[in-house]
Amino acid sequence: MAKKLIEIDFSQPPEAHDCIHNRWHPDIPMYAWVKPGDDFVLECMDWTGGQINNNNSADDVRDVDLTKVHYLSGPIGVDGAEPGDLLVVDILDIGTLEQFQWGFNGIFARENGGGFLTEHYPDARKSIWDFNGIYTSSRHVPGVNFAGIMHPGLIGCLPSRELLNEWNKREGALIATDPERVPPLAAPPCAGTAHMGQLKGDKAKAAALEGARTVPPREHGGNCDIKDLTKGSRVFFPVYVKGAGLSMGDLHFSQGDGEITFCGAIEMAGWIHIRVSIIKDGVAKYAVKNPIFKPSPLQPNYQNHLIFEGISVDESGKQHYLDAHVSYRQACLNAIEYLKKFGYTGAQAYSILGTAPVQGHISGIVDIPNVCATLFLPTEIFNFNIDPCAEGPTKYIKDNDDVPVSYWADK
């Protein structure tokens, strides 16, 4: 195994680690420096920093403090990297940790972040997924077993001060259009729970006041949650500060396109093995604004799908204008209703769409007023046949307990 550049003490909280940070800010010092061509391993906490446990209660998902996330490992400085370069990152491998042979999928309470279908599934829920080598299955979601596509949900370089200012400005302007909204329109800086890595004292406090939250994907990559970014991929990141400052975390064992359950994929602690190199002045050479990447030759090859469609008419029958968000939600709801015919509860079906390698495509986006979004559900992940047939569906899932739920009111 390559040199382990970051090692986590999982008996300690993330805040006890200088190799971890949970905000984006150019002043966070490089935790370690490497040279172009080096390969190395980083350990990562799960995105919540250990707030979620392997048990049958969703209380921890209900009560999670979302101002703390995501806990990232880094930043790593790369000798010679300068603003305007492209940092080439080969994701050579990703793995689980011996002591954490499980991950979690959660649906946040509507009052605490919610999820893509929060109007339909407003309560906090949790499913635990056991890892069996390349496969995963869950005691809370019977009848499915699939090979994961492990990937970092979050990876990117430190922003420059200018870029950080732009983020804060534009997101602040959005929040200002409806500042009392629950959930909020965006996640503004939140100094209280900021953990700035090696940056300490007054400098840390100052940076925390403006440090960008890690929630959204942005120009630098960040929380892209691209399920295909697995071991074997090569990513080209824009560099904004001297040394690049690469950080990553939010490892997923598997995720469906959209990460619709928000909490999200099958979330896990683990390690990632990468190699870095540099394309000098690559941003201008290739007109790169957001990261670009090449996928891996090694991804689960599920070929048999059922494809569900959704259009820009919402559940109430209201017509929207070319709204891909509404369309993809309809495709998801259609798939869930279909799966319920085989015995799943809605929350279980929702969890499947959040965790299994489903694809979400924008199939048609110009035919006014309806976007056609499609959800590709791999049928090979089920232990039974879910294809439509003349006889109608068989209720294979029987007497099953639902995904654990915790109600906000009980808090």
Does position 366 interact with a copy of itself (CB under 8 A)? The reply is yes
Interatomic CA distance for residues 175 and 287, integer angstroms: 30
> How many residues of this chain bind a copy of itself (CB under 8 A)?
125
Instruction: Kindly identify the residues of this chain, within the stretch 8-37, that bind a copy of itself according to CB under 8 A.
Output: none
Q: Which two tokens stand for residue 259?
A: 């990460």
List the one residue out of 290, 212, 215 whose CA is nearest residue 249: 215
Comparing CB distances to a copy of itself, the nearer of 31 and 116 is 116
Q: Using CB under 8 A, which of the segments 6-14, 74-82, 372-380, 397-405 binds a copy of itself?
A: 372-380
- 114 sits in the region (left: phi over 0; alpha: psi -120 to 50; else beta) called left
Contact positions with a copy of itself (CB under 8 A) in 54-113:
86, 88, 91-93, 98, 101
Closer by beta carbon to a copy of itself, 206 or else 279: 279
- Of 199 and 378, CB closest to a copy of itself: 378
- Measured from the CB atom, the residue of 136 and 406 that comes closer to a copy of itself is 136
- What is the token pair recorded at 90? 């080969």
Closest approach of a copy of itself to the CB of residue 202, in Å: 30
Token output for 67: 């101002």
Angstrom CA distances, 407 to 39, 62, 278, 320, 332, stand at: 46, 8, 49, 32, 24
Taking the complex as a whole, how short is the minimal distance between the CB of residue 200 and a copy of itself, in angstroms? 29
Cβ neighbors of 303 (< 8 A, separation 6 or more) are: 380
Report, in Å, the least distance between residue 203 CB and a copy of itself. 28
Strands 151-157 and 244-252 turn out to be: antiparallel
Binding mask 117-156 for a copy of itself (x = CB under 8 A): ---------------xxxx-----------x---------
Task: Give whichever of 86 and 196 is closer to a copy of itself, judged by the CB atom.
Answer: 86
Q: Is 330 in the site for a copy of itself (CB under 8 A)?
A: yes
- For residues 196-225, which are near a copy of itself according to CB under 8 A? 215-219, 221, 223-225
Residues 257-316 that bind a copy of itself (CB under 8 A): 257-262, 264, 273, 275, 279-282, 285-311, 313
Rounded Cα distance between 218 and 383, Å, is: 38
As measured in angstroms, the least distance from the Cβ of 45 to a copy of itself is 18
Indicate the residue among 16 and 365 with the shorter CB distance to a copy of itself. Answer: 365
39 counts as binding a copy of itself under rule CB under 8 A: yes
Q: Which of 317, 398, 409, 410 binds a copy of itself (CB under 8 A)?
A: 317
Residue nearer to a copy of itself on the CB measure, 46 or 259: 259
The DSSP code sequence of 218-241 is ETTEES---TT--TT-EEEEE--S
- The pair of structure tokens assigned to 286 is 């290739």
Question: Which residue from 83, 137, 142, 338 is in contact with a copy of itself, where contact means CB under 8 A?
Answer: 338
Question: DSSP label at 63?
Answer: H
Beta carbon nearer to a copy of itself, 242 or 325: 325
* Overall residue count recorded for the chain in this entry: 411
> Which range, of 6-14, 21-29, 50-58, 251-259, touches a copy of itself by CB under 8 A?
251-259
Element spanning 348, H or E: helix 346-355
Alpha-carbon Rg for the chain in angstroms: 21
3-state secondary structure of 352: helix
Q: Cβ closer to a copy of itself: 199 or 237?
A: 237
Minimum CB separation from a copy of itself for residue 83, in Å?
17
Q: Which residue, 228 or 402, has its beta carbon nearer to a copy of itself? A: 228
Q: Are 349 and 335 in contact (CB under 8 A)?
A: yes
How far apart, in whole angstroms, are the C-alpha atoms of residue 23 and residue 213? 5
Q: Residue type at 241?
A: V
Q: Per the structure block, which two tokens stand in for 193?
A: 């729970």
